[in-house]
Chain A
Amino acid sequence: QVQLQESGPGLVKPSQTLSLTCTVSGGSISSGSYYWSWIRQPAGKGLEWIGRIYTSGSTNYNPSLKSRVTISVDTSKNQFSLKLSSVTAADTAVYYCARERSRWILSSNLYYFDYWGQGTLVTVSS
């Protein structure tokens, strides 16, 4: 059974860089057709996709955050990480890491988030 676990500081000062790590257990981060994503959710609000990485290092980012986001992967540790720079109070949220599965069915390539971490609250405040 695949499990994902977020870790990192729960409090970050404005203008600093938010750094989180997601540790994957129960399977290799390098195996299969999977992408590794970060998604966040401000309190009482909806889900916002931040970006994803493939184990080759290829990344995709939400255009609204692209200038501030870096996602990286460390296959030797079975982890991937998020860095979000120049944070403000608007970046306060629960941050989830998630696995996105890619499947070919007939002629379509399907994608969906099948495993999620429990989420970690990051508060931006001085």
Chain B
Amino acid sequence: DIQMTQSPSSLSASVGDRVTITCQASQDISNYLNWYQQKPGKAPKLLIYDASNLETGVPSRFSGSGSGTDFTFTISSLQPEDIATYYCQQYDNLRTFGQGTKLEIK
């Protein structure tokens, strides 16, 4: 099984800050990684697919990078509506989600 480790598990930042979340796979998954945003009481929403491709309609302040085992998700300028929990998900072998990163406003 492929394990996905996200860090940090929680993060507090100010509006306008640059925010970075990392996701590490337990084995090489090439670029087979997606990022989702989940707000309380809602289903997850796709933000980034294939490690670095922005889903249609998603603001350009969101970006992703990485390949192999190490991936990064970045919000270039944090907005109040970005408060949510973010998950990485691999699809190289079956499907596995990271444990999530809860983002709060400082």
Contacts and interface: CB of A to CB of B under 8 A. Distances in A.
Q: Are both chains from one complex?
A: yes
Interface of A: 37, 46-49, 52, 60, 62-64, 96, 98, 105, 108, 110-114, 116-119
Interface residues of B, number: 25
Contacts, number: 58
Contacts of B89: 47, 49, 113
B50 A108 contact: yes
A116 B98 contact: no
For the complex, would chain A's binding face be called helix, strand, loop or mixed by DSSP majority? strand
Given A96-B44, A112-B50, A116-B43, 13 more contacts: A47-B38, A47-B44, A47-B89, A47-B100, A48-B97, A49-B94, A52-B95, A98-B43, A108-B31, A111-B91, A114-B46, A116-B44, A118-B43
Contacts of B45: 116
Contact of B97 (A47, A64, A111): A47
A65 to B, nearest CB: 11
